[in-house]
Amino acid sequence: MTASVRVTVSPRLLAWARERSGLEIDELAARFPKLSEWERGARTPTLKQLEDFARATHTPVGFLFLSEPPEEQVPIPDYRTIGDTVVRRPSPDLLDTIFACQQRQDWYRDFAQVTREDPVALVGSLTASVPVVEAAEQIRATLRFDPGERGHTWSDALRRLVDHAEELGVLVMVSGVVGANTRRKLDPEEFRGFSLVDRLAPLVFVNGADTKAAQIFTLTHELVHLFLGEAALDDADLRAAPTNPVERWCNQVAAEVLVPLEAIRATLTAEALVADELESLARRFKVSTLVVLRRAHDAGHLSWDEYWTAYRDELTRILEILGERSGTGGNFFNTQPARVSKRFARAVIVSTLEGQTLHRDAFQMLGLKKLSTFDELAGRLGVG
């Protein structure tokens, strides 16, 4: 009977949901052949069709019964820009990712209170009035991330930075998809990361669809926000100087943490970087070549015009590399703990085994479906 019940819904809301999803009308029309008629008001969907449409467009079904499209706001300070222009409205993928991380943070805060964990000392330990070099030295020492401590590859460096941050009490989540849904890939052009501040459950999310080198810069940038004690959504982009003074300071400190300016000045002798030198420095410091270019400009080795031209060319090359990537990223038991934070996953598993958290809730938070998977993950994380 439910399938035959037709509902009155504003055509404008249907068009808004489709545009918000980023899906093309032809793509949706394959699943909803009457969509164009719904949007013209010539026909109305059944309740089941509307619920299916809401799921397909990742729209809360209640939104579709509103009289006007809602103005969705990012629930944390949004520092993303394209050039000097504030970016477009957030996608469902971005919003769902932030909301999921907020829910995990809320859960972990309660867990930390019950288990009497100490507040995380690094949160709010700096202010933007601290000189950039001094702040970078303190952060680098706290994170144990000097250039000689980064391993042999970018993957080594990222893993060590994540592990050191988590040892200090930070929940670090690195994922290129929404939750565990590999069909909902996150777009690095929309955002690269965000930080959620809390004294007991500070959290950083890094867009894992980016290159490993870019993820290292993003993670460092978001950790700087935690040292400031401020939440933020970022594109962590070096294409321009942010107009917001806090974001500008965080960019400068992150760059200094990864590539100290004095090291660049001592290394570079020519007025312009050659490709081999760019790659060599990127390998040495375990950063992207884009960060090296920016530091070369900061050190006075590239004019702004030279830097901007080189940046555009290098960015094009990197985007082509990203476009050639395939697959969803390896073994589930390696990727899923990184997506939700190993620290968080261990806490959820411990709480569940102690009977404090329902298996149903644990499965939802960890992106699992079966008890056998839960048990296997527990074993691999050394819990149980």
What is the C-alpha to C-alpha distance for residues 259 and 296, in angstroms, rounded to an integer? 10
Q: How far apart are the first and last CA of the chain?
A: 48
What is the C-alpha to C-alpha distance for residues 314 and 211, in angstroms, rounded to an integer? 13
Q: Which two tokens stand for residue 291?
A: 């960060």
Q: Which two tokens stand for residue 269?
A: 């002798």
Longest dimension (CA), the chain: 77
Q: Which two tokens stand for residue 273?
A: 């970087």
- Around 120, how many Cα atoms within 13 Å sit in the side-chain half-sphere? 26
Q: What is the pLDDT of residue 321?
A: 67
With 0-12 / 13-18 / 19 or more C-beta atoms within 10 angstroms meaning exposed / middle / buried, residue 329 is: middle
Q: What angle do CA 221, 227, 232 make, to 5 degrees?
A: 55
pLDDT confidence band for 238 (50 / 70 / 90): low
pLDDT tens, residue by residue, 162-187 = 999 999 999 999 999 998 888 899 99
What is the C-alpha to C-alpha distance for residues 4 and 41, in angstroms, rounded to an integer? 18
Taking Cα atoms as reference points, which of 13, 18, 117 lies closest to residue 70? 13
DSSP per-residue letters across 9-67: --HHHHHHHHHHHT--HHHHHTT-TTHHHHHHTSS--BHHHHHHHHHHTT--GGGGGSS
Instruction: State the amino acid at position 205 in one-letter form.
Output: F
Of the candidate ranges 76-80, 119-123, 190-194, 237-241, the one whose mean pLDDT is the lowest:
237-241
Mean pLDDT of 206-216: 92
Length of the chain: 384
Taking Cα atoms as reference points, which of 67, 49, 61, 74 lies closest to residue 17? 61
What is the C-alpha to C-alpha distance for residues 58 and 52, in angstroms, rounded to an integer? 10
Q: What is the pLDDT of residue 71?
A: 87
Taking Cα atoms as reference points, which of 195, 120, 201, 207 lies closest to residue 158? 207
- Res. 83: pLDDT tops 70: no
C-beta of residue 62 within 8 angstroms of C-beta of residue 16: no
DSSP per-residue letters across 286-331: T--HHHHHHHHHHTTSS-HHHHHHHHHHHHHHHHHHHHT--SS-S-
- Res. 81: pLDDT tops 90: no
pLDDT confidence band for 88 (50 / 70 / 90): low
pLDDT tens, residue by residue, 287-343 = 988 898 889 888 888 888 888 888 888 888 777 766 655 444 567 777 888 899 999
Q: For residue 3, what are the β-bridge partners? A: none
3-state secondary structure of 197: coil
Look-up of token digits 């969803």: 328
Mean pLDDT of the chain: 88
Mean pLDDT of 133-138: 97
pLDDT tens, residue by residue, 140-156 = 999 999 998 999 999 99
3-state secondary structure of 86: strand
Q: What is the pLDDT of residue 235?
A: 80
Of the candidate ranges 34-38, 98-102, 194-198, 312-316, the one whose mean pLDDT is the lowest:
312-316
Q: What is the pLDDT of residue 326?
A: 45
What is the C-alpha to C-alpha distance for residues 227 and 128, in angstroms, rounded to an integer? 10
- Res. 285: pLDDT tops 90: yes
Q: What angle do CA 145, 151, 152 make, to 5 degrees?
A: 140
Dihedral sign for Cα 201, 206, 212, 216, please. Answer: negative
